[in-house]
Structure 1
Amino acid sequence: MAVEQTYHPGLDGVIATETNLSFLDTEQGEIVIHGYDLIQLSKTNGYLDIVHLLLNGALPDDDERSKLAHRLSQSYDVPEEVIDVLKLLPASTHPMDALRTGLSVLGGFDRQLENRDAEVNTERAYSLLAKLPTIVANSYRILDGKETLQPKEALSYSSNFLYMITGNEPRELEEEVFDQSLLLYSEHEMPNSTFTARVIASTLSDMYGALTGAVASLKGHLHGGANEAVMYMLLDANTPEEFETLLANKLAQKEKIMGFGHRVYMKKMDPRALMMKEALAKLSDAAGDDRLLRMCEAGEALMEKEKGLYPNLDYYAAPVYWMLGIPIGLYTPIFFASRTVGLSAHVIEQHNHNKLFRPRVKYTGPRYTT
């Protein structure tokens, strides 16, 4: 007897795997990371605490945090050959494609590439966390016709990342806000890019291959690329009223409004977006300019009224990055660099308890008899 199969378009509601890494509790409004709520952690902890939590299963003490920071600072540099390859890319290359190339090339320098042991994979994850900010920043500088920058080991992880992007050492508030954004982007259960990484890892492909596939997934406008689209929308208006009109016109033309709605947060605001909204308010206050904040709030109110949709993380992260002086083309690469720890943790878990993904299809084509 044939087993009845149920079709779920887009795999909505399908449980694809077991994990002890993270879970989106939409009823409680919590993003659970190894038992902790990510939103609460974002108020008291830094990005490196989440790195330690995801890769070691526990929050670090002061000594462990210090050792992690030092460990990463000693591995910022990337092989010169990786930079040479990036210099061969045409100036029209999208920064996400440059990141994808740099990440793929980096895998060739891993002398234990075929080793899937958890300990080796964890060392690999730390190396990637250290090197990807250097690749993200310098690949963009190369495409922009600028000289590459050397990382500064004396700076904190987030401060160095932001320095390499802007060329300026960030002020305390700028470092704090940027670090919080990395934390909020660090892990989010099973979005498309994480699923992509796990599907690739399930073939026992290496971590670089799994993450390279995740870059391609995250580039899409329906995933990570939404933050870029949000900022371009904001730049098309000058006042809250103009932004409301812009969004209203898009709705009238039945266009999709980027930065609103989420496949999981259907009836409430993405809790990460609220944290970035608060960060935007802090930056606006420090700059004495709240125009972007007022525009975003006007758009938020309009979309809730007209469509019952709420902001996702990208909606408020975009203006935050703009106020930090980050080029729009780097919004999604930064997203990926911060998510590297979550992706790596998922690859490690997949390799440790592997089951090859092999779904079936609902066939809708013809069937002939001869």
Structure 2
Amino acid sequence: MMKTKDAFVPGLEGVIASETGISLLDTELEKIIIRGYDLIDLSTRKTYTDVVYLLLEGTLPSKAERQALEEKLKGNYQLPATIMDVLKLLPKETHPMDGQRTAISALAGFDLALDDRSLEANKHRAYDLLGKLPAVTVNSYRIINNENPIDPDPLLPYSSNFLYMITGEKPTELEAEIFDRLLLLYSEHEMPNSTFTSRVIASTQSDMYGALTGAVASLKGSLHGGANEAVMCMLNEAGSVDQFVTLLEDKMQRKEKIMGFGHRVYMKKMDPRAAIMKESLKQLCERKGDSQLLDMCEAGETVMAQEKGLYPNLDYYAAPVYWMLGIPIPLYTPIFFSSRTAGLCAHIIEQHENNRLFRPRVKYIGERNL
């Protein structure tokens, strides 16, 4: 339907807000295009750091370029001591995402070239932020929970180190592979609310830290990144296949929104990323010799498709994968943000390179002539 200039579109659904060369959700072909490549195909052949390079540099890296990127990220692992002090001052009731948001905002003070919006400067700070995010994400959670911070292990690859910092144990090859795949699948997804938020902030010529701080606040919401936590809470509350089906049916009867199902873009099909995570969950269940979580998820998937015509999004199968990897539920969304930072930085850079200030109008429904 053609939209007129003054048409009101709730939630901006279907409205084209930006031109981009970064990514596209092609729902007809069931593909997520990242700089010309199919994200699902990339998830079977490449690593998260490959996709980081693709997002920020525009091409897939050679072996030497990948190794150089890993070393660059490792060189940025450590947080300034002042950031750790800031995290220690936060109330113990602070949500880990608020700790994450606070640390990212505070890091701006350490950037001596903060007002430099050049491509080179923005890429430099993107790599610096990506290197520090595992320590920001994990240690904000640990400090809030009165646990000692964990230092990064520079001998481990980026994703393996991230998972090691979360669990305190070096991951197995399968665990590292699945966690890396999870980061890759969350890395970029066109124009969800958090990405739009980051671009709106960047359009004022605000800095990358400010744009990412706004994106964290957006992603914290239960209708965005917080859905993965809600899914795992439902699974734990139910505890069995029959109880999970009953829980879902009760929620449907009360007309409650059920997290992990449906997507503003994937309306009539399963999120293709969810299918990849479903297979990863199978692998973890087989390794553990316990298929209960997989059985529960598959039963829920069937019920929701039959009763509501809704299909799983990435959060639905990512949540039990996080759980099987030994990751605490409050860290699910902060990890989501950490992986998405690669895509967010690419969007912020693109906005700065070809900028136009966002300034929409409103449909006024208030009083006049009072």
TM-score by length of 1: 0.98
Deviates more, 1:235-244 or 1:187-196: 235-244
| 1:277-316 correspondence to structure 2 within 5 Å | 277-316=278-317
**Alpha-carbon distance in structure 2 between the residues aligned to 1:150 and 1:294:** 37
Measured against aligned partners, the alpha-carbon deviations of 1:293-325 in whole angstroms (never above 9, x if no partner) come to 000000000000000000000000000000000
Deviation at 1:237, TM superposition (A): 1.2
| 1:169-180 correspondence to structure 2 within 5 Å | 169-180=170-181
Quick check: 1:184 aligned with 2:185? yes
Other structure's SS at 2:221 match = coil
**Alpha-carbon distance in structure 2 between the residues aligned to 1:248 and 1:173:** 35
Alignment partner, residue 127 of structure 1:
128
Other structure's SS at 1:170 match = coil
Alignment partner, residue 320 of structure 2:
319
Amino acid at match of 1:265: Y
**Alpha-carbon distance in structure 2 between the residues aligned to 1:238 and 1:132:** 33
Alignment partner, residue 112 of structure 1:
113
**Alpha-carbon distance in structure 1 between the residues aligned to 2:228 and 2:366:** 38
Alignment partner, residue 241 of structure 1:
242
Amino acid at match of 2:131: A
Other structure's SS at 2:147 match = coil
Stretches of structure 2 that go unaligned for 5 or more consecutive residues are: none
Alignment partner, residue 143 of structure 2:
142
Alignment partner, residue 98 of structure 1:
99
Alignment partner, residue 222 of structure 1:
223
Deviation at 1:239, TM superposition (A): 1.3
| 1:262-277 correspondence to structure 2 within 5 Å | 262-277=263-278
* Moved segments of 4+, more than 4 Å: none
Deviation at 1:128, TM superposition (A): 0.5
**Alpha-carbon distance in structure 2 between the residues aligned to 1:315 and 1:107:** 34
Alignment partner, residue 152 of structure 2:
151
Deviation at 1:125, TM superposition (A): 0.4
Alignment partner, residue 201 of structure 1:
202
| 1:6-17 correspondence to structure 2 within 5 Å | 6-17=7-18
Amino acid at match of 1:105: A
Measured against aligned partners, the alpha-carbon deviations of 1:261-282 in whole angstroms (never above 9, x if no partner) come to 0000001000000000000000
Other structure's SS at 2:281 match = helix
Deviation at 1:336, TM superposition (A): 0.3
Deviation at 1:238, TM superposition (A): 1.8
Alignment partner, residue 53 of structure 1:
54
Deviation at 1:74, TM superposition (A): 1.2
**Alpha-carbon distance in structure 2 between the residues aligned to 1:160 and 1:197:** 27
Other structure's SS at 1:108 match = helix
**Alpha-carbon distance in structure 1 between the residues aligned to 2:5 and 2:235:** 48
Measured against aligned partners, the alpha-carbon deviations of 1:87-122 in whole angstroms (never above 9, x if no partner) come to 011111000001000110111100000100011000
Structure 1 vs Structure 2 CA RMSD: 0.8
Other structure's SS at 2:357 match = coil
**Alpha-carbon distance in structure 1 between the residues aligned to 2:10 and 2:238:** 36
**Alpha-carbon distance in structure 1 between the residues aligned to 2:315 and 2:344:** 19
**Alpha-carbon distance in structure 1 between the residues aligned to 2:288 and 2:103:** 35
Deviation at 1:41, TM superposition (A): 0.5
Alignment partner, residue 348 of structure 2:
347
Other structure's SS at 1:31 match = strand
**Alpha-carbon distance in structure 1 between the residues aligned to 2:208 and 2:76:** 18
**Alpha-carbon distance in structure 2 between the residues aligned to 1:88 and 1:248:** 44
Amino acid at match of 2:11: G
**Alpha-carbon distance in structure 1 between the residues aligned to 2:8 and 2:146:** 49
Aligned residues: 367
Deviation at 1:169, TM superposition (A): 0.6
Alignment partner, residue 42 of structure 1:
43
Deviation at 1:4, TM superposition (A): 4.9
Alignment partner, residue 70 of structure 1:
71
Deviation at 1:129, TM superposition (A): 0.4
Deviation at 1:152, TM superposition (A): 0.5
**Alpha-carbon distance in structure 2 between the residues aligned to 1:46 and 1:284:** 22
Alignment partner, residue 166 of structure 1:
167
- The percent of aligned pairs where both chains have the same amino acid is 65
**Alpha-carbon distance in structure 2 between the residues aligned to 1:139 and 1:363:** 42
Measured against aligned partners, the alpha-carbon deviations of 1:172-191 in whole angstroms (never above 9, x if no partner) come to 00000000000000000000
Other structure's SS at 2:33 match = strand
**Alpha-carbon distance in structure 2 between the residues aligned to 1:292 and 1:211:** 34
Alignment partner, residue 28 of structure 2:
27
TM-score by length of 2: 0.98
Amino acid at match of 1:277: K
Amino acid at match of 2:235: L
